[in-house]
Structure 1
Amino acid sequence: MVNEKRYTLQVLNSLVREAIEAELPDEYWVEAELSECRESRGHCYMELVEKDETSNTPVAKASAKCWKQTWTMVQPYFERTTGQPLRAGMKVLLKVYPQFHEAYGFSWIVTDIDPTFTLGDMAQRRQKIIAQLKAEGVFDLQRELTIPRFCQRIAVISAATAAGYGDFCRQLEDNEYGLQFYPTLFPAIMQGEQVEQSVIAALNQINEHAEEYDIVVIIRGGGSTSDMSGFDTLPLAENVANFPLPIITGIGHDRDECVLDMVSNTRVKTPTAAAAFLVAHLADTLQHLNDLQQRLSFMLTMFKTNFEHQLDQRYERICHAIQQRIVQERHHLELAAQRIELLDPTLLLQRGYSITLFNGKVVRDPQQLKVGDEMETIVEKGKIISVVKV
């Protein structure tokens, strides 16, 4: 062993570097998943991994670097195309060449990134989430909810210091109709890896007092609009889809709908658009009430007019009936007066008849009297008093 050739580590590493440069002189497109991605001094440092499709166990790992000169060009293009920054968990297609440094070891040097590959992977993952939500029967649950007509008590999920939240509140407060709204903020992280956990926590807080609110608004503004990854997760989508109150999303992303947009009740583009939607909704309710008031007023006027006309007609009929009844009753009275006049006893007395009374009662039968009874006989011109003798 003493006679065998020995190398210093630097020399041996140099041999490795020369072998790699000789055997792998070209650039290569490689598919991988980012297990780590960070920037430092304008450079981007990545950790790449390939996982077994069945067990999800890593089968290959490597480090990669994108130097500042290249990174300043590929990063903006990637974010404009995908709508998201490079982040851990993302699948990427990188153009690389190998580099082995005697002091720092092996790494792949990134010279280009194909954002369309990542877009395809994102779309595929999104479709898997959508398929899962549909399989669970919750994908359309939010759209089955009706936004209340008097939607004024608003639970807002947003970063407390976000400019979009301030814009949202000002838009509500300064509305042209003078309508009143009552927003309550539930602060949450709206960018980065903690979005999912933070927004779900805010939803849980609102759910504990759901009867105090009419609607939930999830808004995001004032920061970078590129990182939407936190809104494309299954747990957050499930929470939103199953929430008992209607949810409006306004998270400032024009390019594509995220899964959160798809499962919400109503999707708008920005926080101000969310406020404008709520103002218009309540204004429509006010207009509906005004229309009902006008219709009711018209109906009451018509009813009053018809009622007065009917009263006039009934008054005329009643007056006519009363007049007819008076004529009839007057005729009856006249006939009765005639009959009474014909039955007047004085007329009989004038004809020579007389009326015999005993104790003030007319005597019709002699058997009513006995000897000694005193009778009174009335004739036309006086009275005759007589006593029964026999």
Structure 2
Amino acid sequence: MKLKTMSVTDLNVYIKRNFDHDFILNNLTVMGEISNFKAHSSGHFYFSLKDESAKVNCVMFRTEASKLEIRPKDGMKVVIKGRVSVYPKEGSYQLYASMMEEVGLGEIYLEFERNKEKLHNEGLFRDEIKKEIPRYPEKVAVITSSTGAAVQDIINVSRRRNGTVSLTVFPTLVQGDEARLSLTAAIQKVNLHKKYDVIILARGGGSYEDLSCFNDLDLAYAIRKSKIPVVTGIGHEVDFTIADFVADYRCATPSQAAEVVIPSLSEMVREYHEYQARLKGSYQMRLRFEKARVESLMQALSKNNPKIIIANGYLEIDRKRNQLDGIIIQKLSREKERLASGYSLLKAHNPLNILDKGYALVYDGEGVLVKEAETLDHLDRIRIRLKDGERTLEVHNHGKEESDL
């Protein structure tokens, strides 16, 4: 019997019909750990349920999701009740959850929390111990998978921003238990070279368990002990690992890490011209300032020139001399007037003025004024003063004469 040739749609619909009529698949309970959880804006939940060996894609529609008393998140261990069916358009099966209960935190999430608390208590997350990212690196070491999209994204960003920066890729595993040792060894190897300015530790997107190797304690210690600054770009924007907390700078994606580390050549040229213009404007302003200062000093110097000071001194001397001459003349005039007044007063009271009337003054040889006639009896010589002069006379006594005058 020849079977009818089926289309892809017919095949997926047939498989879906068989899934939908299976008693177990339509009423089952599954326990596992949530990973890669996304809450869509429509209200639907999309996530994976995994154990140590496998995982299954799951969806919980808005109606059931709104009834949950818990908030699902990566690493949460849950029991889910629901059914398994096929999505014909994609040809994939998934678990449609109708109920969810928390059992406990998954082992990966527990490891993350334990290591996070330990390193936080040791002070490895403190901002003050983190190294500064160089602004203009010349050599950049990239630690990531050599075949993943992350390395290509970093190379593309680097070429677009600045082709002069040298990139050296140190290939490592970025998933699984072996990746822990591989990543740690790569950090240590880059530090041995001592020629790189910065390290980019990167990996593209992945599930929560895919990124678990970046939660390793040894890797965290290697990042902190690195003498070279480490920038992480691991997973997506919402993904955080221990390496992100310990790193000197955390970026959401590998491309963003390259944007942060690799300086834009065009921006550098623009800054160069801007600084050049600012420097030119600065020294021109300084020249104008210094020129104005020199001119001000020249004016001050010209005002304080010794020749001008001496010339002004001569003028001041002449002014003072004229002023002094005026004062002296006034003083002499006042003294002359005072002297003339005194002379007139003295002349008015001068006893010698009486001589102008014919009287005379008689003095003995000692210059003592003779006031009585008897004194003449004892003198041999006298001095007579008249109005126009003096004469010395000898005295001859002839006796006392009486007069009726």
- Give the Å deviation of 1:76: 2.1
Structure 1 residues 92-107: aligned runs within 5 Å = none
- Give the Å deviation of 1:267: 1.7
Cα deviations by residue, 1:199-242 (Å, 9 ceiling, x for unpaired): 011011011123x1221101113877861121122222222233
Question: Which residue is equivalent to 1:156?
Answer: 142
Structure-2 separation of matches of 1:309 and 1:163: 63
- Secondary structure class of the residue paired with 1:75: strand
Structure-2 separation of matches of 1:281 and 1:132: 38
1:140 is the counterpart of 2:102: no
1:256 is the counterpart of 2:242: no
1:205 is the counterpart of 2:205: no
- Secondary structure class of the residue paired with 2:235: coil
Deviates further, 296-305 or 112-121: 112-121
After superposition, the Cα gap between the structure-2 partners of 1:323 and 1:141, relative to the gap in structure 1 and judged at 3 Å, is: closer
Checking the alignment, whether the CA contact within 8 Å between 1:218 and 1:250 is kept in structure 2 is yes
- Give the Å deviation of 1:247: 1.2
After superposition, the Cα gap between the structure-2 partners of 1:191 and 1:123, relative to the gap in structure 1 and judged at 3 Å, is: closer
Question: Which residue is equivalent to 1:183?
Answer: 167
Alignment equivalent of 2:255, drawn from 272, 279, 287: 272
Structure-1 separation of matches of 2:32 and 2:58: 19
TM-score (ref. length: structure 1): 0.50
TM-score (ref. length: structure 2): 0.49
After superposition, the Cα gap between the structure-2 partners of 1:209 and 1:282, relative to the gap in structure 1 and judged at 3 Å, is: farther
Structure-2 separation of matches of 1:150 and 1:228: 30
Alignment equivalent of 1:196, drawn from 177, 180, 189: 180
Cα deviations by residue, 1:72-125 (Å, 9 ceiling, x for unpaired): xx61239xx8769xxxxxx966789xxxxxxxxxxxxxx999796575543332
CA RMSD, 1 decimal: 4.5
Aligned residues: 246
Question: Which residue is equivalent to 1:88?
Answer: none
AA in 1 matched with 2:234: I
Question: Which residue is equivalent to 1:345?
Answer: none
After superposition, the Cα gap between the structure-2 partners of 1:286 and 1:253, relative to the gap in structure 1 and judged at 3 Å, is: same
Checking the alignment, whether the CA contact within 8 Å between 1:142 and 1:247 is kept in structure 2 is no
Checking the alignment, whether the CA contact within 8 Å between 2:80 and 2:101 is kept in structure 1 is no
1:324 is the counterpart of 2:305: no
Structure-1 separation of matches of 2:129 and 2:266: 21
Q: Which protein shows a greater Rg?
A: 2
Alignment equivalent of 1:244, drawn from 204, 227, 236: 227
Question: Which residue is equivalent to 2:112?
Answer: 126
- Secondary structure class of the residue paired with 2:125: coil
Structure-2 separation of matches of 1:243 and 1:115: 43
- Secondary structure class of the residue paired with 1:155: strand
Alignment equivalent of 1:76, drawn from 38, 57, 79: 57
Structure-2 separation of matches of 1:164 and 1:246: 19
Question: Which residue is equivalent to 2:368?
Answer: none
- Give the Å deviation of 1:272: 1.2
- Give the Å deviation of 1:171: 0.8
Checking the alignment, whether the CA contact within 8 Å between 1:150 and 1:282 is kept in structure 2 is no
* Unpaired runs of at least 5, structure 2: 1-26, 34-49, 60-71, 82-95, 316-405
- Give the Å deviation of 1:314: 3.8
Cα deviations by residue, 1:241-266 (Å, 9 ceiling, x for unpaired): 33222211112234431111122122
Question: Which residue is equivalent to 2:280?
Answer: 297
Structure-2 separation of matches of 1:163 and 1:29: 34
After superposition, the Cα gap between the structure-2 partners of 1:169 and 1:252, relative to the gap in structure 1 and judged at 3 Å, is: same
- Secondary structure class of the residue paired with 2:167: strand
* Unpaired runs of at least 5, structure 1: 1-25, 33-44, 48-65, 85-90, 97-110, 332-390
Question: Which residue is equivalent to 1:39?
Answer: none
After superposition, the Cα gap between the structure-2 partners of 1:225 and 1:273, relative to the gap in structure 1 and judged at 3 Å, is: farther
AA in 1 matched with 2:284: T
Identity of aligned residues (%): 24
